[in-house]
């Protein structure tokens, strides 16, 4: 098999591109929907009175919800310039690797998100293995890293509050249904 | 309504967390996928997944992550603060599965002013271990 695509993909490793803004600001309806789906009754997320008396002074988002704010729109398609991460996925598609399965997730939470927060995130591919034989067929292990910031922080700058690493298996088994990320 | 608080002093290394079981339906899986804005067909479209040779739709990683947070802070109460979660995904979780959540306190320690515990946990489904991971949680300490 040609390893040309592999050399091309390696060039995109470490490229962060322009930071992206979440489509929606953090808000109570999205938080409540999440808690409903996850069956999470933690009152910090949905009980105004409890949350107001807590050290946070109000509702916070479940820390595990973070990745939700990075998800692309179903419609209409993004208009901003292609991100290196998406170029990476497009090249994988072309090389016939249509399936992605997440194998490992690692998240660190520095401070919680509150309604009204605007999340900005930087993401990039940080590692890619050579082609490996797995129980799902031949594939590459790809590690991506996300750093999340919000509008708060000193000097009008940004403060980092979440860090996330995801390891994917990418193979020819079509689990993605085409090019839908 | 009062909420329980688990204090750091009351936790021992090796202590088991309560076992929790959840019945996973199509609705559970689709609700989790949509609440996390994950529209990948394998998490909602049975005809599609079966056309590519899979048994059924399966739980997405964001829901496993959400369940991890729920399992850990249901145990500590709302004063338990998640600092880190990391997990490895194994067997897929399908509609009709019963998910069994178990965990134990692997380590109890302080770091700066924080009183921390590491919890090792896993979720099992009929097909095997769905996820195995570690959570780091800061707990309230008495008299501080």
pLDDT in tens, chain B (144 residues): 788 999 999 999 999 999 999 999 999 999 999 999 999 999 999 999 998 888 999 999 999 999 999 999 999 999 999 999 999 999 999 999 999 999 999 999 999 999 999 999 999 999 999 999 999 999 999 976
Which residues does chain B have within 8 Å of residue A136's beta carbon, measured at their own beta carbons?
none
- Of the pLDDT bands very low, low, confident and very high (cuts 50, 70, 90), residue A95 is confident
pLDDT of residue B144: 60
Tell me if A120 sits within 8 A of A146, measured CB to CB.
no
pLDDT one-digit tens code per residue, A123-167: 889 988 888 888 777 888 999 888 888 776 433 334 455 666 777
Compare CB distances from A37 to B3, B31, B86 and report the shortest one's residue: B31
Task: Read off the pLDDT band of A179 (50, 70, 90).
Answer: very low
- Whether residue B139 lies within 8 A of chain A, CB to CB, comes out as no
Alpha-carbon distance of A169 to A102, in angstroms, equals: 6
Residue of B nearest to A64 (CA): B66
Res A45: pLDDT: 98
Parallel/antiparallel/unpaired status of strands B81-89 and A137-150: unpaired
A contact residues 67-106, partner B, Cβ 8 Å cutoff: 67-68, 71, 74, 101-106
In chain A, which among 110-139 make CB contacts under 8 A with chain B?
Answer: none
* B51 or A177, higher pLDDT: B51
The nearest CA of chain A is from the CA of B34 a distance in Å of 9
Q: Which residue has the tokens 């996925």?
A: A89
Structure tokens, B55: 């048994």
Q: Considering only CA atoms, give the Rg of chain B.
A: 17
Do B13 and B21 contact (CB within 8 A), yes or no? no
A92: nearest Cα among A177, A165, A8, A16: A8
Output the CA–CA distances (angstroms, integers) from residue B75 to A77, A106, A155, B3, B72, in the order listed.
41, 21, 39, 11, 5
Can you give the pLDDT at residue A170? 76
ipTM: 0.97
Taking the CA of residue B38 and the nearest CA in chain A, the distance in Å comes to 7
| Domains of chain B, residue spans | 8-138
Q: Which residue of A has its CA nearest to B140?
A: A55
User: Is the CB of B85 less than 8 angstroms away from the CB of A181?
Assistant: no
pLDDT digits (tens, 9 = 90+) for A45-87: 999 999 999 999 999 999 999 889 888 899 998 887 778 888 8
CATH of domain B8-138: 3.10.129.10
Instruction: Write out the two tokens for A61.
Output: 């988002």
Closest CA relative to residue B59, chosen from B87, B89, B81: B89
The pLDDT, as a whole number, for residue A181 is 35
Q: What is the largest CA-CA distance in chain B?
A: 60
Is B83's Cβ below 8 Å from some Cβ in A?
A: yes
- pLDDT bin (cut points 50, 70, 90) of residue A176 is low
**In this model, does residue A99 exceed pLDDT 90?**
no
Q: Which residues of B touch A175 (CB under 8 A)?
A: 40, 42, 52, 54
Residues in chain B closer than 8 A to A52 (CB atoms): none
- Give the separation between CA A95 and CA A171, rounded to whole angstroms: 10
Residue A181 with chain B: CB contacts under 8 Å? 40
* Mean pLDDT estimate for chain A: 84
Beta carbons of B40 and A181 less than 8 Å apart: yes
Q: Which of A177, A178, A179, A181 to mutate to test the interface with B (most CBs of B within 10 A)?
A: A177
The domains of chain A, with CATH numbers, are 4-24+62-171 (3.10.129.10), 27-60 (no CATH)
């Amino acid at each position: 098999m040609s390893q040309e695509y592999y050399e091309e993909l390696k060039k995109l490793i470490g490229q962060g591109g322009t930071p992206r803004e979440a489509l929606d600001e953090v808000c109570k309806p999205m938080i409540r929907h999440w808690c409903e789906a996850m069956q999470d009754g933690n009152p910090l997320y949905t009980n105004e009175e409890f949350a107001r008396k807590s050290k946070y002074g109000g509702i916070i988002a479940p820390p595990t919800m973070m990745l939700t704010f990075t998800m692309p729109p179903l419609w209409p398609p993004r208009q901003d310039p292609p991100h290196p991460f998406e170029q990476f996925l497009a090249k994988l598609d072309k090389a016939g690797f249509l399936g992605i399965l997440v194998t490992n997730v690692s998240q660190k939470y520095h401070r919680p998100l509150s309604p009204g927060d605007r999340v900005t995130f930087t993401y990039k591919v940080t590692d890619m293995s050579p082609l490996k034989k797995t129980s799902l067929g031949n594939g590459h292990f790809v590690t991506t890293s996300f750093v999340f910031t919000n509008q708060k922080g000193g000097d009008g700058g940004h403060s980092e509050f979440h860090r996330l690493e995801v390891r994917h298996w990418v193979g020819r088994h079509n689990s993605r249904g085409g090019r839908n990320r | 309504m009062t909420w329980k608080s688990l204090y750091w002093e009351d936790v021992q290394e090796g202590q088991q967390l309560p076992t929790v079981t959840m019945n996973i339906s199509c609705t559970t899986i689709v609700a989790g996928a949509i609440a996390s804005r994950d529209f990948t067909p394998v998490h909602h479209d049975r005809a599609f997944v079966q056309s590519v040779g899979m048994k059924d739709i399966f739980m997405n990683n964001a829901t496993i992550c959400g369940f991890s947070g729920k399992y850990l802070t249901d145990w500590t109460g709302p004063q338990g603060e998640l600092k880190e979660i990391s997990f490895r995904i194994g067997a897929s979780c399908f509609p009709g599965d019963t998910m069994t959540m178990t965990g134990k306190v692997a380590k109890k320690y302080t770091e700066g002013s924080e009183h921390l515990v590491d919890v090792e946990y896993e979720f099992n489904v009929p097909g095997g271990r769905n996820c195995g991971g570690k959570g780091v949680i800061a707990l309230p300490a008495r008299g501080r």
